[in-house]
A and B are shown apart, each in its own frame.
Chain A
Amino acid sequence: MKRFTRWRLSLLLVIMAFILSGCGEPYLSSLRPAGEVAKKQFHLMLLSTAIMVLVILVVTTLFVIVLIRFRRKDDRIPEQVEGSHKLEVIWTVIPIILILILALPTVKATLALGNMSGMEDEDAVVVNVRASLYWWEFEYPNEGIVTSQELVVPTDEKIFFNLTASDVKHSFWVPALGGTLDTNTDNVNTFWLQIDSDAAEEAGNLFYGKCAELCGPSHALMDSKVRAVSRDEYDRWIKGMKAAKEPQKPETALAKKGEEIFNEKGCISCHAVTSANSTIEAARIGPNLTDFGERAYVVGILQNNKEELKKWLKNPESVKPANKMTGTYEELTEEELDALAEYLLSLKVTE
């Protein structure tokens, strides 16, 4: 009997997993878990859903029977039953058991995900996430480098995170990789993620992250990206970034002109084009652009090509309402835009 229920339960789990994983995109949906953390969470979601479906079925069955059998047919007065101890005990005990079945794995998983051991190791991949209105900064303290908007990490390894916010509260969430954790203004929160290489491949090596805490008008558009690559490729990227301690020399004339504009118009006062994390956080007002040319998206939401980049530079407000770049520089002419775009797109650290 017991084996039978368990068997049925696991069948239910399998069916549900099958149905649910049809939902959403592999790079975004929490129903398509792409790593250990997300999988742990997904299993708990499945277990709880199974219990809940069971509860709903029981209640609905009773409900339907009652509604069919006991509709008023005549004017008879039914017996005024006071209650039933036996029944009351049953429907107190069974939910308690169901709750326990859910509570134990929950506690276990909570403690497991809270376990940050390994973070202190010298070769651990540690990332400091700093959220600002409406962009993300990723600092690699062990490597001494900074990047923005797109996080680059190796697959099949634990990645440890320190999260904080510089202005208001945000929340760092990459659904396919794991649940959200708030970036507070008061403290540093920690968690870890891990990405499976085959899942990464299915998702095109690029996972979509969202800001999950209301932070102002452009909260909806405060997307981040996680580029999950193999260890080799990651090392290559790190090497490239580390090498970019000096501004890169633009090659074409247009790009050169772009660089000049970039410096003259004051862009440089907010945006670094070198990767070192030597400036203090408060002075890093805008995203670091060292490897901008390699990013898939501009400000997390526009395809990174000349067209879209120019759209952003021309009028950031139309892309992200209330962003902190609008109105901080003189209006740009079409030529200036061209030059800037050329320059920015040429910023790359790997070949």
Chain B
Amino acid sequence: MNSYAQKRGFLATLWDYLTTVDHKKIAILYLVAGGFFFVLGGIEALLIRVQLAVPNNDFMSADMFNQVMTMHGTTMIFLAAMPLLFALMNAVLPLQIGARDVAFPFINALGFWLFLFGGIFLNLSWFLGGAPDAGWTSYASLSLASEGKRIDFYTLGLQISGFGTLMAGINFIVTIINMRTTGMTYMRMPMFTWTTFVACSLILFAFPPLTISIFFLIFDRLFGAQFFNVDMGGNTIIWEHLFWIFGHPEVYILVLPAFGIFSEVISTFSRKRLFGYASMVFATVLIGFLGFMVWAHHMFTTGLGPIANAIFAVATMAIAVPTGIKIFNWLLTMWGGSIKLTTPMLYAVAFIPSFVIGGVTGIMNAASVADYQYHDTYFVVGHFHYVILGGVVFAVLAGLHFYWPKMFGTMLNETLGKITFWLFLIGFHLTFFVQHFLGLMGMPRRTFTFLEGQGLETGNYISSIGSVLMAVASVILVINIIITSVKNKKVGNDPWGDGRTLEWSISSPPPYYNFKQLPLVRSIDAYWHEKMEGRKEMPPAEPLGDIHMPNPSFIPFMISFGLFIAAFGAMYRPDYSWGLPVLIGGLVITFGSMLVRSLKDDLGTYIKKEELDDDKGVKA
């Protein structure tokens, strides 16, 4: 009886999450899925490091290594880092601008399910004949030569999840432009909102080139096109350009929201407003703009010619300037502040030197002639793990600890959090610092082994040890999360005590309508401003009234599921007769669901004013 009730409870919750359009629940979905993929990508990273711990290792075959390496990069970038950032955006962005919801709750859910189905599709390759093996960049000549279905998993999986990302991006831009509460002018928006805004604009312009280049590859491999077939007049460099026109902005799509999170954390725990807010905004926009002008720095050795190389080298170096502005603004925010080293703040603080090291090696890469020596070596691997871990992963970890109470109403354990931090920090530097030197000493990247007696043993061994430390740190984080969830000690609105922005002015977790009355914003750092004036709550911008809420819907799941099915059809169509019907069937599910969506009026529901008045009627 009891277990039956429990089971029903579980199914009801499951259904709730499958159909939810609430940004706070979607945040949790992103967090769980992104966290899962991070662990998966992390395990793949560990396998890489085990294989490379000693020379001539036969832990993995060469073929297996290429799959693991490719899937590590692809998983981490597309399925771990971006979704984890989307989780944080969904969790706090509407709260930060004082909105009850995002602009397109339905599309928000759709974005998540597309990402998840794309990710699952990609990873099913492990069980269906092998994973993609041409690197996360999947350069065209190799990806055309790759046999079996491996690359098709890559193209179709990324295509599906790419659509999801694009939708999530548009949703956030519109949310930020249209859904801000009264008084929340552009120049009062919290920094995380600003960076999300710019990052999502980059998504909007960077993902279409990826979509198209992936289409080309799909067409070439599955439908007989000749885009990259040199014998038929094709050109493989087109892939390189399109991939990097996407790929370079992509790294700023990752790092800009990270910058936003650090801005929030640093100013909160320094108890100071962000130094040089206006120039921070300016720098963010400038980074976004320059991000589109520099992609060919990944192609210095492709043979574009000295003129093109020189132009792109100088353009790339220019990015040091706005990024530097940000670094110094953060330092000056802390200068004269009252710094409290909580776990999120530790990550934010450690980020500064770590990211600067990664950033300056980026500038070293930008010196085209020197890059001829770095390109496709472990120097580059060192560079980008420094910026990605020191920037993005630290930000996700900082944001996770920082916003955990807002998302779940309970605080992660600080002691365990600090242990995680120190282990991760040490492991991270140990792993990746030596890699720069390995590269300079002649170790190419994407190599499944290295030979004895070429001076590469020590460095690789150290690097492998470091990665174990990171793994231990991650395990402790998981333990921390479990312990915290079991204890589930509830906290109030502003558990850190120093909250500055609107999200800290409402309960943790917030009610599903977020704000009973939309708040009136009278200053930058609105909540801090009211606290300093002695108020406990935000002044309302509207009288108490009915609240309009969207209906939950199962259609996002169905649309995504249809594409998932269609992808199998497309992939097996050349080999099996059932491929085509499955492809069509999948598309029918997708477009049919879209048709249902557009023909069935969905007017949402209203929470009545009376229900709000009487707090009992409204469950959080």
Contacts and interface: CB of A to CB of B under 8 A. Distances in A.
**Chains A and B share a contact (CB less than 8 Å):** yes
B205 interface: no
Nearest to A223: B451
B337 A78 contact: yes
What bracket does the count of chain A residues touching chain B fall in?
Answer: 35 or more
A110 B442 contact: no
A96 interface: yes
Contacts of B444: 173, 210-212, 219-220
A40 B321 contact: no
B606 interface: no
B142 A56 contact: no
Instruction: With a 10 A CB-CB cut-off, give which of B63, B303, B352, B357 has the most chain A CB atoms.
Output: B303
B62 A165 contact: no
Given A82-B273, A84-B276, A110-B310, A169 B369 contact: no
A29 interface: yes
Interface stretch (B85-93, B154-162, B248-256, B325-333): B325-333
Interface residues of B, number: 88
A106 B368 contact: yes
A103 B317 contact: yes
Interface in B319-366: 320-321, 324-325, 327-329, 331-332, 334-341, 349, 352-353, 356-357, 360-361, 363-364, 366
A182 interface: yes
A73 B62 CA distance: 56
B276 to A, nearest CB: 4
Contact of B321 (A87, A95, A171, A208): A95
Given A28-B442, A56-B353, A217 B62 contact: yes
Contacts of A31: 440-441
Contacts of B340: 71-72
Interface string A321-336: 1100000000000000
Contacts, number: 291
B446 A56 contact: no
A182 B413 CA distance: 51
A283 interface: no
A169 B135 contact: no
B145 interface: yes
Nearest to A216: B142
Contacts of B493: none
A175 interface: yes
A280 interface: no
B373 A181 contact: no
Interface in B86-125: none
Given A48-B367, A55-B356, A92-B325, A63 B237 contact: no
A30 B442 contact: yes
A80 B449 CA distance: 54
Given A24-B440, A24-B455, A167-B145, A212 B361 contact: no
B394 interface: no
Contact of A81 (B237, B275, B370, B455): B275
Given A78-B337, A111-B306, A103 B314 contact: yes
A28 B456 CA distance: 11
A170 to B, nearest CB: 9
Given A20-B440, A169-B139, A214 B66 contact: yes
Interface string B431-462: 00000010011101011111100110000000
Nearest to B324: A95
B306 to A, nearest CB: 3
A1 interface: no
B375 A179 contact: yes
B454 A208 contact: yes
A114 B454 CA distance: 30
B278 A107 contact: no
Given A77-B532, A103-B317, A110 B369 contact: yes
B504 to A, nearest CB: 16
A178 interface: yes
B368 A110 contact: yes
A134 B485 CA distance: 53
A184 B303 contact: yes
Contact of A220 (B237, B370, B447): B447
Nearest to B450: A220
Contact of B339 (A24, A70, A83, A176): A70
A95 B356 CA distance: 13
B301 A182 contact: yes
B441 A23 contact: yes
B349 A67 contact: yes
B353 A59 contact: yes
Given A102-B363, A181-B303, A80 B440 contact: no
A102 B325 contact: no
B277 to A, nearest CB: 7
A185 interface: yes
A45 interface: yes
Nearest to A163: B303
B305 interface: yes
B236 interface: yes
B570 interface: no
B185 interface: no
A99 interface: yes
B313 A220 contact: no
Nearest to A69: B335
Contact of B338 (A67, A72, A115, A171): A72
A30 B331 contact: no
B390 to A, nearest CB: 13
A207 B329 CA distance: 48
Contacts of A45: 364, 367, 370, 373, 440
Interface in A175-201: 175-176, 178-182, 184-187, 189
A219 B441 contact: no
Interface string A27-49: 01111000000101110110011
Given A87-B328, A167-B145, A48 B338 contact: no
B385 interface: no
A221 B339 CA distance: 52
Given A56-B360, A70-B335, A171-B376, A109 B273 contact: no
Given A23-B441, A56-B353, A301 B451 contact: yes
A214 B142 contact: yes
Given A59-B352, A78-B272, A181-B303, A91 B328 contact: yes
A76 interface: yes
A171 B301 contact: yes
A343 B375 CA distance: 40
B245 interface: no
B337 A29 contact: no
Interface in A51-100: 51-52, 55-56, 59-60, 62-63, 66-67, 70-74, 76-84, 87-88, 91-92, 95-96, 98-99
Interface of A: 20, 23-25, 28-31, 38, 40-42, 44-45, 48-49, 51-52, 55-56, 59-60, 62-63, 66-67, 70-74, 76-84, 87-88, 91-92, 95-96, 98-99, 102-103, 106-107, 109-111, 113-115, 165, 167-169, 171, 173, 175-176, 178-182, 184-187, 189, 208, 210-221, 301, 321-322
Interface of B: 61-63, 65-66, 134-135, 139, 141-142, 145, 230, 235-237, 270-273, 275-279, 301-303, 305-307, 309-310, 313-314, 317-318, 320-321, 324-325, 327-329, 331-332, 334-341, 349, 352-353, 356-357, 360-361, 363-364, 366-377, 437, 440-442, 444, 446-451, 454-455, 532
7 contacts: A24-B437, A63-B331, A72-B339, A88-B279, A99-B363, A173-B444, A322-B62
Given A56-B357, A180-B301, A212-B375, 13 more contacts: A38-B373, A41-B373, A62-B328, A70-B270, A70-B336, A71-B339, A106-B313, A107-B313, A169-B139, A169-B236, A179-B373, A180-B376, A212-B444
**Interchain residue pairs A-B with the least CB separation, the first 6:** A179-B372, A114-B306, A220-B447, A24-B441, A217-B62, A189-B303
